[in-house]
Amino acid sequence: MNNTHSAIIITDDLKIFVDGIPDTCDHDDKGDPILWSASGKTIHWHTYQQWAHLPSRERHRLICDYHDEIEDPVVGSCVSCSKCKKPFSPPMF
């Protein structure tokens, strides 16, 4: 499992990307699914409020059907840690 993360630090004068920062979380696979569409849109459980109250599997099916209908299909996914919200792609569990 990847036990590091990266961060972007932005100040008035600088933009710095730092990689390899050690994680302090004991990660799990109980977080939220995160999806990506062909156009690059990131889709979280709350992206479509009308389906946010539904169980994850049903919500996933509706999102995929909708994105197929608008010709912007879901092309990728990952899962986040329920404690720190770090996404893992592909799922590492």
Q: Are 28 and 83 in contact (CB under 8 A)?
A: yes
pLDDT, one tens digit per residue, over 8-40 is 889 999 999 888 888 788 888 788 889 999 999
Residue whose structure tokens are 């390899």: 20
Strand 15-22 to 4-10 pairing? antiparallel
β-bridge partners, 74: 37
pLDDT given at position 36: 92
Residue 36, H or E segment = strand 33-37
d(CA 22, CA 67): 36
